[in-house]
Structures are given as structure tokens and as C-alpha cells.
Chain A
Amino acid sequence: MAEVETASTQYTAANNAEPIVKYLDVHKSFGDVEVLKGINLEIKPAEKVAVIGPSGSGKTTIIRMLMTLEKPTSGKIIVDGNYLWHMEKDGKLVPANEKHLREVRGDIGMVFQHFNLFPHMTILENCMTAPIHVKKEDKQTAKQRSIEMLEKVGLGDKIDNYPSQLSGGQKQRVAMARALVMRPKVMLFDEVTSALDPELVGEVLEVIRDIAKEGEMAMVLVTHEMDFALDIADRVLFLDKGVIAEQGPPSEVIENPKNERLQNFLHRFRS
């Protein structure tokens, strides 16, 4: 516990809000390959963080661990004051069980590169299933909120369609509505435009920008869209070879990079 307190004290000194997410020396290996080599990271409520870096740098793994899709090899993750992968039992920290994971990860939502919509459900059912079954909302409320959310992402006229009838951009907007209906405190975006045709990228970024403006939710975006990151992020992390190699406001990190590998990385994007 001592470790946690130190970290949070440091944080409060810099900013008045208690961080919603903390990574404490998080490592992750796949087999013999260590993809993350000690990640320390704090995310404030409502903060928008963009994660950039070459492929294989471990950016996606960072957010997948927060969504409990990947288990850290070592280190701790704290969400809203609670350990995510650990729980306290007789004063000791033990690996979390499924029940504990469910309690803590309820604050997190995620949008995937390949949308992962449920193909056997209509757009509306895609959105209202989790509120009904997970949050135990009554059907009418869930339906109404889902419709509102779908209208917000510009798909109010498609609610009875099936995912296979939509374009990639529309699918991704549904995926965002589906995640938003759960009212997460932190929303993760995993390269959400990479699987889209270039002409469809704009409509998806537009929706993300709208969500970001509302402000109340923290967002972590793993992205290749530098201009977009520059535009909406409060902070940019450059991940390289499993460590955070540089971080700061986008104006510094993207406009004025110090790290040499970051300079090369950005150069490839600019040209």
C-alpha cells in the first residue's frame, strides 16, 4: 500500500485531482518477449491521453491490460483507488478473481480496431444488451438511452439494422455508442481508424472529437493520426521498445520532439 500512497502524493502535488488510473511498474511478456518493461503512468479524470509509437512498441498492450484482456506479468494497476488485477485478502494482496475484476473494470470502456460488433444483434440491441444484463437497467430506460446515444453518433435512423448492413465508419460509430451507454469513467480507443477506408476516417474522428469536448470522461487513444492527437490530446505518450520514451503536451512531443527515435518516427509520418 505504501507504494500507492507515495505515487498519489506525488500526483496531488502536481495536480489537484486524484488520478483515475495508475500503472505502477507494469511489465508484460508474451513468452520470452518482454513487450512492456516497466510502465509508470497516471491518468487524471477527464484527461485525454494519446499513445503513439512504432508497431510492436506495446501501445495496444497497455490499454488491453486496463480492459483486463491481457494480464500483466508483474506490477500493479489501480482504477479509481482499487487494484485491478489484485485484491486484498487477510491483509495480503492476492490475484483478483473474476468477481473482483468485474467490479473494478466497470469503470472502463473500450472501442476496438475491428469494431467487434455482435453480428447477431441489431444496432440497438448491440447498445442496450449490456446496460440491461450487466447494469440491470430496466429495458425501457436502456432502450431510450441507447437510442439517444445512437442519435448522438448520427445513426438514429439505423437502429434496427444489423451490423453487416453498415459501412466500416458506421460500425465504428455504433461501437462507440455501445461503449458510451455503459457510462465509463475511462474510455480506451485501440487504433479505431486503422481498419477503415481512408474516406471513412473523418466521420469517426469527428465523433471522438465530440465525445472529447464533453470532457467528463478520461480517454486513452492508441492512434496513428498525429494531427488528430495534436488536436484533442492533453498529453501525448511516445512508447518505444516497451518504455515510455517521451511524454508531454502534444505541442512539445509532436511539434518539438527531443527523443531521436521519436523524431524519426514522426518524420516517417510527415513525409
Chain B
Amino acid sequence: MISTLIDTIIDVFPILMKGMKITIVVLVLSSIFAYLFAFIAGLCRMSQNVLLRKFTGFYVEVFRGTSLIVQLFWLYYAIPMLFGFDLGSDMLAGVLAIALNYGAYMSEIVRGSILSVAEGQTEAATALNMSRFQRMRLVILPQAIRMMLPEFGNYLILMLKSTSLVALIGMTDILYYGNILRGGNISQGPTIYLLVLVFYFILALPLIALTKKLEKMSKKGVAVQ
């Protein structure tokens, strides 16, 4: 019993490792774009241009109001039908879905953090005759980003979990190989899926540690309203 367990683990481990690469690539790419979208959308929602504000507001509400899995399928299956062209690859659809979804959520964090930097900070910067752009760059953003960091860390863990969805559109990530392995040996299903979970947990551990560290860091150096 124990020996078959160990055998299974030895068999399964290298195959799951193959999926690790795709999981990490999807995580890295989608998180970079998610943070980018979050900043762009967060700042646009505070713009003085009404049209820009409305448009980003629409994006944020649509992506927060529907499910990631629905968005993923939509990008993967529906976009080619709508525009008559493919997004080119499942990688693009997967990364874009995760990035757009989490970008929408995190844009609210960007906006909220900027708004919660104490008003006195803007006033002091004005009194030093800084321009609107300088106030943002030198005074508000450095403090707001400190506030965002722990939340960004939390969302990184959520994004890691969400990368598992790309297996549903045929990408060869950890879960994909897990499914294939289970298909080949149904009685070893529990060990295989447990191992898949452990793989994700091992990837999550440094992110959890990072988030805790960011939480500590963010407590310093901010004037909150």
C-alpha cells in the first residue's frame, strides 16, 4: 500500500513538473498585464474626461460582474466567432482573461488607495507649488502603492489559483497533466490530485510569505486619511 503510493508519486512527479512551466508562465504574464490594466483603469476612472471615466467604469463592472470562467470561454470560443479571427493561441486567451478579470478587481484597489492618501498630502504638495502630475508622481503614488502592495500580493495568490482554469482550454499546465494521469489510472486519482494540490501549494507558499512581508512594509510611510 505504502510502496504503491511511493511508486505513484515517483511516476507522477516528473510529469506534473512538465506542467509547472506553463502554470508559471501563465501566472507571470497574466499578473504583469493585470497590474498594468489595474493602474491604467484605476487612473482612468479618476480622469476628468467623462467619456474615459464611463468607458473604464463599464470595463470594470463587466469584468467584476461576470465569472472568470465565463470570460475565459468567451475569449476562447466566442471572440473568433464574433470577429471572424482567432486570438491566435490559447495562451493569449488564457493570459488575457485572467489579466482583464483581475485587472478590473485591482483597479478598484489602485483607485481606493490613491483616494485614501490623506488630503493634507496633496495640500502640502500644492503649497510647494508642485504640478498635478508632480503631486501624483512624487507624493501620492509612492504612498498609495505602499497601501496597494499587500492587496496585490493577495491577488497574486488568487491569480495563481485561477491559472488552473487554462487546463479547460487545453493548455498543458499542472492540472492538465493531472487530469491525463488520472485518466490513465483511475484508482490512483486521490494521490494524483493531492499531488497536484501540493504543487500549487508549493507555488503559493513564497507568495504567501511575500504578502505577509508586504503587509509589514506597507504599515510604514503612509499618511492615511
Footprint of B on A, CB under 8 Å? 67-69, 98, 102, 105-106, 108-110, 112, 114, 116-120, 129-130, 133-134, 162, 164, 175, 178-179, 182
Contacts and interface: CB of A to CB of B under 8 A. Distances in A.
Nearest to B141: A120
27 contacts: A67-B123, A67-B126, A98-B132, A102-B129, A102-B131, A105-B129, A106-B129, A108-B127, A109-B127, A109-B128, A110-B127, A112-B123, A112-B127, A116-B123, A116-B223, A117-B124, A118-B125, A119-B143, A119-B223, A129-B128, A129-B138, A133-B130, A133-B138, A134-B130, A134-B134, A164-B221, A182-B128
B195 interface: no
A112 B120 contact: yes
Nearest to B123: A69
B139 interface: yes
B128 A134 contact: yes
Interface string B138-169: 11001100100000000000000000000000
Interface string B93-122: 000000000000000000000000010110
Interface of B: 118, 120-121, 123-132, 134, 138-139, 142-143, 146, 220-223
Contacts of A182: 128-129
B218 to A, nearest CB: 11
Contacts of A105: 126, 129
Contacts of A164: 220-221
Nearest to A109: B127
Contacts of A179: 127-128
A133 B134 CA distance: 8
A112 B124 CA distance: 8
Contacts of A106: 129
Given A133-B138, A162-B221, A164-B220, A118 B131 contact: no
Q: Which 8 A-B pairs have the closest CB atoms?
A: A116-B124, A130-B128, A116-B120, A110-B127, A120-B221, A120-B142, A119-B221, A134-B129
Nearest to B127: A110
Nearest to B130: A134
Contacts, number: 68
By CB atoms of chain A within 10 A, which of B120, B127, B143, B221 has the most? B127
Given A98-B131, A164-B220, 12 more contacts: A68-B126, A69-B126, A102-B131, A112-B124, A118-B124, A119-B220, A119-B221, A120-B142, A120-B143, A134-B129, A162-B220, A162-B221
By CB atoms of chain B within 10 A, which of A105, A109, A116, A179 has the most? A116
A105 B134 CA distance: 16
A117 B220 CA distance: 14
A115 to B, nearest CB: 8
A175 B127 CA distance: 11
Contacts of A108: 127
Nearest to B222: A119
A67 B127 CA distance: 6
Given A119-B143, A119-B222, A120-B221, A114 B120 contact: yes
By CB atoms of chain B within 10 A, which of A68, A106, A119 has the most? A119
Contacts of B126: 67-69, 105
By CB atoms of chain B within 10 A, which of A68, A109, A120, A133 has the most? A120
Given A129-B138, A134-B134, A118 B121 contact: yes
A117 B120 CA distance: 9
Contacts of A129: 128, 138
Contacts of A112: 120, 123-124, 127
A175 B128 CA distance: 11
A138 B132 CA distance: 22
Contacts of A133: 130, 134, 138
B122 to A, nearest CB: 9
A228 to B, nearest CB: 22
By CB atoms of chain A within 10 A, which of B124, B126, B128, B138 has the most? B128
A117 B125 CA distance: 9
A178 B121 CA distance: 13
